[in-house]
Structure 1
Amino acid sequence: MMKNRRLARHIGDAAWSKFVEKLAYKAESAGVHLVKLEQWFASSKTCHCCGHKMAEMPLKVRQWQCPICRNNHDRDTNAAMNIRQKGITDLMAAGLVVKAT
């Protein structure tokens, strides 16, 4: 697999697909909804305060300041807030009631 990166990637994708499949099954059996976001959703580089999306943000950047609203962000915390909000928005768009937790 080390010599054939394409094969390694395919195996990794298949493993991820199986994980998501099992997660969806568990969510359904527990009576909860699983929201899947698109792979390229810009959660890390979109300001959760004002919605400004940075054009570029290398992975090595862990802290950043929004040039519009000047809020300082931890990359991972900001991404988590954006993912949560996108999930809530998608559930509400589907006509579901979302509890604030």
Structure 2
Amino acid sequence: MKDKAARDGKTYLDIGRFFALSSKSCRVGLNQVGSFPAEVRSWTCCNCKTKHDRDMNSAIIIGDEGLGLLAL
């Protein structure tokens, strides 16, 4: 993937292992929820009551981290 990004003139960033759990973290308060099965596609944070689509939530958290790394 790194080579393809370079070939296409794009930036490739390695994101830390913590973000493997991003689908189970609330993007509003970064509260981590307990474990739930992979077939559960949406969930509500018990702390802030925000409803999350699991994939979209994860993409936003990872995207925000990438933007933060680029800002450094």
Q: Deviations over 1:36-57 (max 9, x none)?
A: 2234521101111111111322
Q: Which residue of 1 aligns with 2:12?
A: 34
In the comparison of the two structures, how many residue pairs are matched?
A: 71
How much has 1:32 moved relative to structure 2?
Answer: 2.8
Match for 2:22: what amino acid?
Answer: S
Instruction: Provide the alpha-carbon RMSD of the alignment.
Output: 1.7
66-75 vs 30-39, which deviates more? 30-39
Aligned counterparts of 1:26 and 1:39: Cα–Cα separation in 2: 22
Structure 1 gap ranges (5+): 1-22, 94-101
* Structure-2 change in CA distance of 1:40 and 1:58 (3 Å): farther
Query: Larger Cα Rg: Structure 1 or Structure 2?
Result: 1
Aligned counterparts of 1:31 and 1:63: Cα–Cα separation in 2: 35
Aligned counterparts of 1:76 and 1:30: Cα–Cα separation in 2: 25
Q: Which residue of 1 aligns with 2:51?
A: 72
Structure 2 gap ranges (5+): none
Aligned counterparts of 1:89 and 1:25: Cα–Cα separation in 2: 22
Q: Which residue of 2 aligns with 1:50?
A: 29
Structure with greater contact order relative to length (CA < 8 Å, sep ≥ 6): 2
